[in-house]
Amino acid sequence: MINPEDLLEFIKNRRSIRSFQDKKVPDNEIQMILEAGRWAPSASNKQPWEFYLIRDKEILKEISKNALYGSHIKRAPFAIAIVGKKTTSPNYYIQDTSLVSMTMMLMAWSLGIGTCWIGSMNREKAKEILGLTENDYLLTVLPMGYIKGNIPKPTLRAALDQIKKEI
Ligand X SMILES: Cc1cc2nc3c(=O)[nH]c(=O)nc-3n(C[C@H](O)[C@H](O)[C@H](O)COP(=O)(O)O)c2cc1C
CB 70, min distance to ligand X, A? 5
Query: Quick check: 18 and 146 in contact, CB under 8 A?
Result: no
Is 149 among the residues that bind ligand X (CB under 6 A)?
no
Q: Which of residues 60-119 bind ligand X (CB under 6 A)?
A: 69-70, 116-119
CB 69, min distance to ligand X, A? 4
CB 76, min distance to ligand X, A? 12
- The residue count for binding ligand X (CB under 6 A) is 11
CB 71, min distance to ligand X, A? 9
Three-state SS string over 77-138 comes to: CEEEEEEEECCCCCCCHHHHHHHHHHHHHHHHHHCCEEECCECCECHHHHHHHHCCCCCEEE
CA–CA gap between residue 74 and residue 65 (Å, rounded): 8
CB nearer to ligand X: give 163 or 167: 163
